[in-house]
Chains A and B, each alone.
Chain A
Amino acid sequence: DAKTTQPNSMESNEEEPVHLPCNHSTISGTDYIHWYRQLPSQGPEYVIHGLTSNVNNRMASLAIAEDRKSSTLILHRATLRDAAVYYCILKSSGSARQLTFGSGTQLTVLP
């Protein structure tokens, strides 16, 4: 699987937007960009995914660069419940059935 690079940690203030970056310069044309998060003592939770176009759902937005070498997960108004490790993962057709988790970004939300 192509590799992703994320900052180890980020902080945000409650009720402010959060932009979590991810670099994936070796992405291939058929790789989907998936984001998951893991709250303390819980299993990973699916957040959003996309291929080329920006995507929105009830949890977040995903902005994908035109060259697809980077993407940004946007939480529009962070809450204390959003404190978690956020993982950016490329899902490729070569290994479509599983995800490879990196270290992710630990998001701290300050009240």
Chain B
Amino acid sequence: EPEVTQTPSHQVTQMGQEVILRCVPISNHLYFYWYRQILGQKVEFLVSFYNNEISEKSEIFDDQFSVERPDGSNFTLKIRSTKLEDSAMYFCASSVNGLTNSPLHFGNGTRLTVT
């Protein structure tokens, strides 16, 4: 069964550094998402992306964050200048379309540790 893959599985970075988290969504899916989960807390929506532009974003997704689909297969999340509070699991997801009956398929995440 096709799956969403994320790399790396664990990233350690120093405060103030830029990080790029990578995702390969399922190939025929058109909508892409990033979520995060701080340890012990809920899964939180960051951003959705369709047709090469952001379709929705949460208040967490501020100017420090950006997303890109640099080629036909990858979907990336960049954090420009990391803070300690950015430490979390970051999950990428994709769906066939944006309809209410379209399930999201998630990757197994990248654990980001900011020191």
Contact residues, B66-115 vs A (CB, 8 A): 91, 93, 98-101, 103-109
Taking the closest CB of chain B, its distance from the CB of A27, in whole angstroms, is 12
The A interface is mostly helix, strand or loop, or mixed, namely: loop
Residues in chain B near residue A97, CB distance under 8 A: 31, 33, 48, 50, 55-56, 98
Contact residues, A19-46 vs B (CB, 8 A): 30-32, 34, 36, 38, 41-46
Band of interface residues on A: 20 to 34
A43-B44 in contact given A31-B100, A96-B99 (Cβ < 8 Å):
no
Residues in chain A near residue B65, CB distance under 8 A: none
Q: How many of B's residues come within 8 Å of A, CB to CB?
A: 25
For A49, give its contact among B31, B101, B109 (CB under 8 Å): B101
Residues of A bordering B, CB below 8 Å: 30-32, 34, 36, 38, 41-46, 49, 51, 87, 91-93, 95-103
20 A-B pairs whose Cβ atoms sit less than 8 Å apart in the complex: A38-B43, A41-B108, A42-B109, A43-B4, A43-B93, A43-B109, A44-B35, A44-B43, A45-B106, A51-B101, A87-B43, A95-B56, A96-B99, A96-B100, A97-B48, A98-B33, A100-B45, A101-B42, A101-B43, A101-B44
